[in-house]
Chain A
Amino acid sequence: MKRIKKVLVANRGEIAVRIIRTCKDLGIQTVAVFSETDRKSLHVRMADEAVSLNGVKSSETYLVIDKIIAAAKLTGADAIHPGYGFLSENALFAEAVEAAGIIFIGPSADSIRKMGDKTTARKLLKGSKVPLAPGTEDSIEDLTEAKRLAAEIGYPVLIKASAGGGGKGMRIVHDPADFEKSMHASQNEARNAFGDSRVYIEKYLENPRHIEFQILADQHGNTVHLFERECSIQRRHQKVIEEAPSSVLTPEMRQKMGEAAIEVAKIGTYYGAGTVEFLVDKHRNFYFLEMNTRLQVEHPVTELITGLDLVREQIRIAEGETLGFEQKDLKINGHAVECRVYAEDPMNNFLPDTGMVHLHRVPTGPGVRVDSGIVDGMEVSVHFDPMISKLVTWDRDRNGAIARMCRALEEYTLSGVQTTLPFCQFVMKHPVFQSGNFDTHFIQNYFKPEHIEIDDPETIQNLAIGGLNAIHWFIREEKSEPSLSGNGAEKQGSLNLWKVRRK
């Protein structure tokens, strides 16, 4: 068995930091790589070594296989962890890493090819006991043929990117008249996000819940599942809030879905950590959606209910160790909830926001974990994903975990960009979310921007009083005439105190 001594983390942001932390726990040396705009980032500061990828955009840096392998060779790293996104589900990358004599901390290139491509995975699973939603077997390019298939499957249909993930390139079509426009939009987004414009079509299930199973498999044929994650709170088909376990699964259903997930992994001769995603319809039928051949963003909720460190397990598996435990050894302990903090404005259709994060103070206290790659003074730029951090809480039961999340969200201070924090507060306090009886349409059914406003009259009045006095404080410190008309006439000298936001 080969012990890994030095890991290069081919990623950035919170996930790079999270992986470096586990490497440090294990006494493994770490190498960060970075784009020019990430020079000051936390992952660069925390790693033992760091190598510039000489470029700004992801297409010039984190997506360039040769640069990453060169950085590994330069530093003598014996393994590469891809994180999520970027090259994590790229079979060519996994192959190139192995060919360079470096361990890829993830599944084999063959498994990525089989399971990471949705249409290939569906073909492989056909005829197995894993239930599939109706849809096209192959990716499709011809519009007329696509339209015909959509009609055959029956509207509403979903157009999805074959190479996709994270909701990018996905479109729901209710009306055949919108099909053409949606297909073009989907192909464009897929090309931009993944460099691959292939799409496929499947039946769009109504009132679906998104429930996924975490898989761990070693290289000796042992496969277990680490229970489910409920990921139904989504905007733009991207998850914002996840929890484990799901409030809707009975022990029988959990067992059935867990077995199906293991079956998927076995058919893909899968090893490492992976996730099998299912949609559960209102009749509690479940259908295979896709397999993600990487560590997921939302993996911490699973870690909190199982007590396992998934990155540590990934490293052990990559070294060739056996799992060392069986399905019957695994138990769900308590409940965990995760809120993703995005630089997005929930008051304005979740549009991404950019700017300097002046202040980032994360909550602590019982049952709170924050995975973040942001520090004060760092820029949220257009070049990368707008996720700032993940806030995760745990308690013995769901109500407790939600209560702790409400407390932690209130404690979370982030200044400089609009975030999804107030939206998450809204969800945690919403009776439908608290009841556990919701689906992926939660946001469109229950959320209006005005719902997240604070309207307690005493609070508003006191904020008016406090705000006025704060403005007076600025004026007094300036020793200048009060000029309060907010018409863009800030004096040059007042810029320091006001720290006018640069946009």
Chain B
Amino acid sequence: MKYLVKIKDQEYNLHVTGFLETAENGNRQTIDLVPLDANRFSALIGTKSYVFEIYQQNGEKFLVYKNHTFPLVVEDERDRLVSHMKQVNRETQTFADIKAPMPGLVSKILVTEGGVVQKGQTILVLEAMKMENDVKAPIAGEVSRILVTEKQNVEKNSILMRIG
């Protein structure tokens, strides 16, 4: 089966021929892959030894190697078509949902519904672990909805407000 693997701005066309073989641009690599624990694997690729972890979060895949986390995108032919169409959609998108970067307490809301914000402007202060963290507008636009109130506890990734 043929795949496009994207990792750290690199794209690789890989062809998995059997469980332990991967062909990369016509070069055949034998890989010795052993599952360890907690989603970790030991891979011997040629003679090089790698231990890494693979996990999935909110539908996205990540690979952790030497404490570095790499987003990992694996697509087959059909996926590529789907993701291309999504890309086109995204370009016409003019709104942004502001999500909580961490769980915490909304200590201050600095904008009002209907107000216009600039990109990078601080719109909300989120308190977590006794530190105050500024949440900034990722795009310029009008604040169309505010979904939280001051002194409210929020979970990580919960939507705080919408711009646009």
Q: Is B152 an interface residue (CB 8 A)?
A: no
Which residues of chain A are near B51, meaning CB under 8 Å? Answer: 413
Nearest chain-A residue to B1 (Cβ)?
A482
Quick check: B74 and A382 within 8 Å, CB to CB?
A: no
Q: Give, as a whole number of angstroms, the nearest-CB distance from A264 to chain B.
A: 28
State whether B45 touches A352 (Cβ < 8 A): no
Q: Is B129 a contact of A382 with CB atoms below 8 Å?
A: yes
Q: Are A468 and B65 in contact (CB under 8 A)?
A: no
Taking a contact as CB atoms under 8 Å apart, the answer to whether B63 and A467 are in contact is yes
Known contacts A382-B104, A471-B61, A498-B39: does B10 contact A168 (CB below 8 Å)? no
Cross-chain contact B52 with A418 (CB below 8 angstroms)? no
CB distance from A305 to the nearest CB of B (A): 27
Q: Across the interface, do B41 and A466 meet the contact criterion of CB distance under 8 Å?
A: yes
Q: Does B159 contact A (CB under 8 A)?
A: no
In the assembled complex, A470 has its CB within 8 A of some CB on chain B: yes
Closest to A424 in B: B67
Q: Does B115 contact A (CB under 8 A)?
A: no
Residue A353 interfacial (CB < 8 Å): yes
**Does A143 reach chain B (CB closer than 8 Å)?**
no
**Complex contact B130–A461 (CB within 8 A):** no
B38 in complex: contacting residue of A185, A359, A487, CB < 8 Å: A359
Interchain CB contact under 8 A, B75 and A471: no
Query: Which of A352, A421, A476, A500 has the most chain B CB atoms closer than 10 A to its own CB?
Result: A352
> Given A473-B19, A476-B19, does the pair A412, B63 have CB atoms closer than 8 Å?
no
Q: How far is it, in angstroms, between the C-alpha of A352 and the C-alpha of B104 when the chains are bound?
A: 10
In B38-79, the 8 Å CB interface with A consists of: 38-41, 43, 45, 48, 50-61, 63-70, 72-76, 78-79
Name the contact of A382 in the complex, choosing from B10, B79, B103 (C-beta under 8 A).
B103
Give which listed residue, A168, A410, A463, contacts B63 with CB less than 8 A: A463
Contact B19 A485 (CB under 8 A): no
Cα(A188)–Cα(B54), bound, Å? 41
State A465–B48 Cα separation when bound (angstroms). Answer: 12
| A348–B12 alpha-carbon span in the complex (Å) | 27
Q: Which residues of B contact A500 (CB under 8 A)?
A: 55-57
Chain A: interface size category: 35 or more
The verdict on A466 contacting B59 (CB below 8 Å), with A348-B101, A503-B156 known, is no
| With A386-B129, A473-B35: A467-B54 Cβ-Cβ less than 8 Å | yes
Task: Confirm or deny: B7 has a beta carbon within 8 angstroms of a beta carbon on chain A.
Answer: yes
A324 within 8 Å of B by Cβ? Answer: no
Q: Which of A236, A466, A467, A503 contacts B131 (CB 8 A)?
A: A236
Q: Enumerate A345-363 residues with CB–CB distance to B below 8 Å.
A: 347-348, 351-354, 358-359
CA distance A458 to B27 in the complex (A): 14
A97 to B74 CA separation, bound complex (whole angstroms): 60
Write the nearest CB–CB distance from B153 to chain A, whole angstroms: 9
Judge if B82 is at the interface, Cβ distance under 8 Å.
Answer: yes
Q: How far is the CA of A359 from the CA of B37 in the complex (A)?
A: 8
Q: Does A414 contact B (CB under 8 A)?
A: yes
B76 engages A484 (CB within 8 Å): yes
B residues near A397, Cβ cutoff 8 Å: none
Given contacts A351-B101, A359-B37, A486-B59, contact A469 B132 (CB under 8 A): no
Q: Is B133 an interface residue (CB 8 A)?
A: yes
CB-based contact A358/B39 at 8 Å: yes
- Which chain A positions have C-beta within 8 A of B74? 467-468, 471, 484, 486
Closest CB in chain B relative to A364 CB, distance in Å? 16
Q: Which of A75-83, A215-223, A427-435, A448-456 contacts B (4 or more CB under 8 A)?
A: A448-456
Say yes or no: B128 contacts A464, CB within 8 Å.
Answer: no
A410 contacts across to B, CB distance below 8 A: 66-67
| Complexed CA–CA distance, A353 and B102 (Å) | 7
- Contact of A468 (CB < 8 Å), options: B22, B58, B155: B22
Residue numbers of A with Cβ under 8 A of B are 168, 185, 188-189, 192-193, 236, 347-348, 351-354, 358-359, 376, 382, 384-386, 409-410, 412-415, 418-419, 421-422, 425, 452-455, 457-474, 476, 482, 484-490, 498-501, 503
- CB-defined A-B contacts under 8 Å, sample of 16: A192-B127, A193-B130, A352-B128, A354-B102, A386-B129, A410-B67, A413-B40, A454-B65, A454-B66, A465-B24, A467-B72, A468-B74, A470-B35, A473-B41, A499-B38, A500-B56
Q: A462-B43, A470-B35, A476-B19 are in contact. List 19 more A-B contacts (CB 8 A).
A: A351-B133, A354-B102, A376-B38, A422-B68, A462-B50, A463-B7, A463-B52, A463-B63, A464-B7, A465-B14, A465-B29, A466-B52, A466-B63, A469-B33, A485-B78, A485-B82, A488-B59, A500-B55, A500-B56
